[in-house]
Structure 1
Amino acid sequence: MIERLKQTTLIIAGHGSSKSPNQARPARKHAAHIAKKGLFADVKTAFWKEDTRLKDVLEGVLTPEVVIVPNLACSGHINKVVIPREMGLKGELTQTNTQRIHLCKPVGEHEGLPALIAKRLKEVMQERDLAPKDTTVFLVAHGNPNPDRPASHDTTVMMATRIYQHYPLHAILPAFLEEKPFLKGWSKRTTTKNIIVLPFMIAAGTHGARDVPRFIGVEPTEKQSMEMRENAIPAGPFEVEGHHLWIMRAMGSHPTIADFIVDIAEERLSEVPY
């Protein structure tokens, strides 16, 4: 496998945003971390709505194999439609005269993610002396009002259940920005004293930094936002309708995500004979 990786280019693919450069930062940081290890011939990032573009990233890539790992929470429209369309792929395996291009499952489907989230939740709660029985966690995803695109909803509901299996507390409830159950209605769904809001967004961007606080009725200071983004220090506590509320950084920025990306790439290559 080591020799095969040395002949493989890893591409970390994502959505990106022309309005929110922070959305691409986690992918770029993970790429830089992986590149330093020297596992692959090259490590690149590519985005739908930000440079380097998905449609351009394969130009000049000459390695015999290319592995694309979507830096996404679930296998939805972007993973199944946008990335193949923009990159000219034919599915999970695209064979050209000189290359084999592999499209992998997204980072959000790595089997280690529920345990990683549970571990971070436990750390945050212990640091703040929050009792599990008195704490509700809202796992927040974008969601999609289109019933034909249920991936975000279904993945988030499943993830909430799996996190709870690793770290049972009062409740871990899914909530969404654009479909029911809406994050805006959070206060009607729990009576616990402590509330933790955790964006289930691999690249938080505008949604994690601006929309999530707005939807729950709080406004972190500039310092709180910076410390949450750069140092993973939860913003809070905010006093809202009798609750003590904290907002955590999206888990997509956690350093272990880089290891998950490598795992997914290696798993894909091991499934397809050289």
Structure 2
Amino acid sequence: MQALVIVAHGSHLNPDSSAPTYDHADTIRDVGAFDEVKTGFWKEEPSLREVLRTVESDEVFVVPMFISEGYFTEQVIPRELRLDGWDVSEWDSDGLNASHATLTASDTDQWVHYCGPVGTHESMTDVLVRRAESVTGDPDVGDGFGLAVVGHGTERNENSAKAIEYHAERIREMDRFDEVQALYMDEEPEVDDVTDYFESEDVVVVPLFIADGFHTQEDIPEDMGLTDDYRTGYDVPAEVDGHRIWYAGAVGTEALMADVVLERAAEAGADVGDAVERVRRRTRGTPAAGD
């Protein structure tokens, strides 16, 4: 038997924080890729410390629903799962290319394939583009549009910006959008000045965040000038300084994220059959703009 455990941060304050994790787990469970699919959280139940005890399988694939390599993926999760002998050098990563490491959970004796975070996987690029398609309602969106990939950014962890730059560059190389820019909340170039960085009249803004919360629902819309008060809502698209801003909300809420989780597990040796393709077929529909 093989199991998948998706681990995420969660929140005591925002009940929607865990919703994407549950949604993607349900999608993967429905396509039958694993004997068991479980979820665990740092700030919610079941806790990271206890989640492996909810799993009957001896072989477990653990995929972190985090954007970047850093404190949580390198220290908190391995510690809470009690991965015997874990060291970050097991990933042999420069901050972008963590794949997987196989260790034993010391208290359950399970064989654990600990995968890199979803946010640095190359398939996340496709999810960002799909998010642009979803918010505009146009599966061919690109010509005449700019695209901003937005991250939190912090000078305390250089890896925080690496994932943003990585995916922005990959989308730029597609030559699909007229302009592609990486922007940040806490670093330059800042998302507050989004219209300063684009000549395109239409700009899609996609936050590289796992869940919609304080930053994506309140800070970013107000910082960009979509609204003076997030509680009053805003239009999609919204007119700002002569541009139409198509604000997509957190990329982690996009249904195609389930594909990234599966690919992480498959690269670690999970036998997922044709589940990746079935997930892509299930999530191919593009809703109307603003949905």
TM-score range, shorter chain: 0.7 to 0.9
Please say if 1:174 is aligned against 2:185. no
Ranges of 4+ aligned residues in structure 1 off by more than 6 Å: 128-131, 220-225
Please say if 1:162 is aligned against 2:170. yes
Q: 2:153 aligns with which of 120, 123, 143?
A: 143
What's the CA shift for 1:250?
Answer: 2.2
| Percent of aligned pairs sharing the same letter | 30
The one-letter amino acid of 1:181's match is P
Quote the residue 1:98 is aligned against.
109
Is the Cα–Cα contact under 8 Å of residues 135 and 246 in structure 2 kept in the other structure?
no
Change in 2 beyond 3 A, CA 1:244/1:102: same
Change in 2 beyond 3 A, CA 1:138/1:34: same
Of stretches 74-83 and 90-99 in structure 1, the one that deviates more from structure 2 is 90-99
Please say if 1:240 is aligned against 2:240. yes
Could you list the per-position Cα deviations for residues 67-122 of structure 1 after superposition, in whole angstroms to 9, with x for gaps in the alignment? Answer: 11011222222111221122222433222473211210111233222234334435
- The CA RMSD over aligned residues, in Å, is 2.7
Could you list the per-position Cα deviations for residues 39-65 of structure 1 after superposition, in whole angstroms to 9, with x for gaps in the alignment? Answer: 322111111112221112122433211
Is the Cα–Cα contact under 8 Å of residues 122 and 167 in structure 1 kept in the other structure?
no
The one-letter amino acid of 2:8's match is G
Please say if 1:188 is aligned against 2:196. yes
What count of residue pairs does the alignment treat as equivalent?
A: 253
Could you list the per-position Cα deviations for residues 141-186 of structure 1 after superposition, in whole angstroms to 9, with x for gaps in the alignment? Answer: 111231xx11120110110010122243231111111222221122
Aligned partners of 1:168, 1:62: CA distance in 2, in Å? 45
Q: Provide the secondary structure at the position in 2 that maps to 1:93.
A: strand
- Select the structure that is richer in helix: 1
Q: Provide the secondary structure at the position in 2 that maps to 1:58.
A: helix
The TM-score normalised by the length of structure 2 is 0.77
The one-letter amino acid of 1:244's match is R
Is the Cα–Cα contact under 8 Å of residues 125 and 131 in structure 1 kept in the other structure?
no
The one-letter amino acid of 1:93's match is T
Change in 2 beyond 3 A, CA 1:187/1:100: same
The TM-score normalised by the length of structure 1 is 0.81
The one-letter amino acid of 2:197's match is R
Change in 2 beyond 3 A, CA 1:170/1:101: same
The correspondence of residues 1-274 of structure 1 with structure 2, limited to 5 A, is 7-89=1-83, 90-91=85-86, 92-95=101-104, 96=106, 98-122=109-133, 127=138, 132-133=143-144, 135-146=145-156, 149-219=157-227, 235-269=235-269
Unaligned runs of 5+ in 2: 87-100, 272-291
Unaligned runs of 5+ in 1: 1-6, 226-234
